[in-house]
């Protein structure tokens, strides 16, 4: 007689293993859609007098790239950056340029330091966010004075504090991405 097997043997964290498989659409579209949604998000809560809200689209892209290396192609930064440019208020092309450069430099950095950990990912995130905020401000066409630089500090601090949270969110989204939702047969 066959022993009754544990119910857990037929399921894992991605759902039932019997008669179900991953959906390729969900698996490949989730990162792109979440990054695009994050690009839209800073526009919605209103009109702060200073640039306060972190560049969420950019944070989301770095998080996907660091949490799940190999999922986003190297050229993803170009297309996602163009989408961000439509809504960010920066001159058109600034995110296209900076996001593409970011993807290429993370690729180089990964060749140099292939090991991973929470702190290292965070550190990489902090370096890239700082560089992005400063260069984006220089390219924005605004006059850069002492006050403009001081005003960027809260945004920077908020960005680096929120980065680990976004990385955790990406981990959850990654689990969602690999849910077995397609019925076989």
Partner 1 sequence: MAPPSSRRSGHSRRAQYGLFTGYVLATIGVLFGALLLGISLWRPTSFNGLRTSAGDIVAPVGEANAVTRTEGQGLFDSISGYLRAGSQNANLKKEVELARIRLKEADAVRQENARLKTLLGLRDTQTPPVAITRLVGSSASSTRRFAYLGAGSNQGVTVGMPVRSPRGVVGRVLEVGQHSARVLLLADSESVLPVRRAKDDVVAFAEGRGDGRLRIRLINLGVNPLKRGDVFVTSGAGGYYQPGVAVAILDQVTSDGGVARVIADPAATDFVAVEPIWQPKAVESAKTPVGEALANDQSTGAATQ
Binding residues for partner 1, per CB under 8 A? 40, 42-56, 69-70, 73-75, 77-79, 81-82, 85-101, 103-104, 107, 110-111, 114-116, 136-137, 139-143, 145, 147-148, 150-152, 155
Q: How far is CA 113 from the centre of its chain?
A: 20
Q: Name the residue nearer to partner 1 (CB basis): 62 or 95.
A: 95
Provide the minimum distance between the beta carbon of 11 and partner 1 in the complex, in angstroms, as a whole number.
25
Q: What is the dihedral of CA 111, 115, 116, 122, to 10 degrees?
A: -60
Place of tokens 């990654």: 174
C-beta of 51 vs 125, nearer to partner 1: 51
Secondary structure class of 126 (helix, strand, coil): helix
Nearer to partner 1, 16 or 75 (CB): 75
Measured between alpha carbons, how far is 157 from 152 in angstroms, rounded to an integer?
9
Integer Cα distance of 21 and 161 in angstroms: 36
Using the minimum distance from each CB to partner 1, give the nearer residue, 35 or 137.
137
Tell me how far, at minimum, the Cβ of 46 lies from partner 1, in Å. 6
Minimum distance of partner 1 from residue 129's CB (angstroms) = 11
φ, ψ (nearest 5 deg) of residue 183: -90, 130
């Amino acid at each position: 007689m066959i022993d009754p097997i544990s119910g857990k043997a037929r399921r894992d964290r991605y759902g039932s293993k019997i008669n179900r498989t991953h959906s390729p659409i969900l698996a490949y579209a989730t990162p792109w859609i979440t990054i695009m949604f994050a690009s839209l998000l800073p526009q919605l809560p209103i009109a702060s007098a200073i640039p306060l809200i972190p560049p969420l689209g950019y944070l989301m892209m770095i998080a996907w790239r660091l949490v799940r290396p190999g999922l986003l192609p190297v050229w993803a930064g170009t297309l996602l950056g163009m989408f961000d440019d439509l809504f960010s208020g920066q001159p058109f092309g600034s995110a296209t340029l900076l996001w593409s450069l970011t993807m290429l430099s993370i690729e180089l950095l990964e060749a140099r330091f292939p090991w991973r950990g929470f702190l290292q990912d965070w550190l990489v995130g902090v370096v890239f966010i700082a560089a992005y905020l400063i260069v984006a401000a220089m390219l924005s066409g605004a006059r850069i004075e002492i006050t403009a630089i001081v005003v960027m500090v809260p945004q920077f601090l908020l960005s680096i504090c929120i980065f680990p949270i976004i990385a955790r969110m990406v981990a959850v989204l990654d689990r969602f991405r690999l849910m077995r939702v397609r019925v076989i047969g």
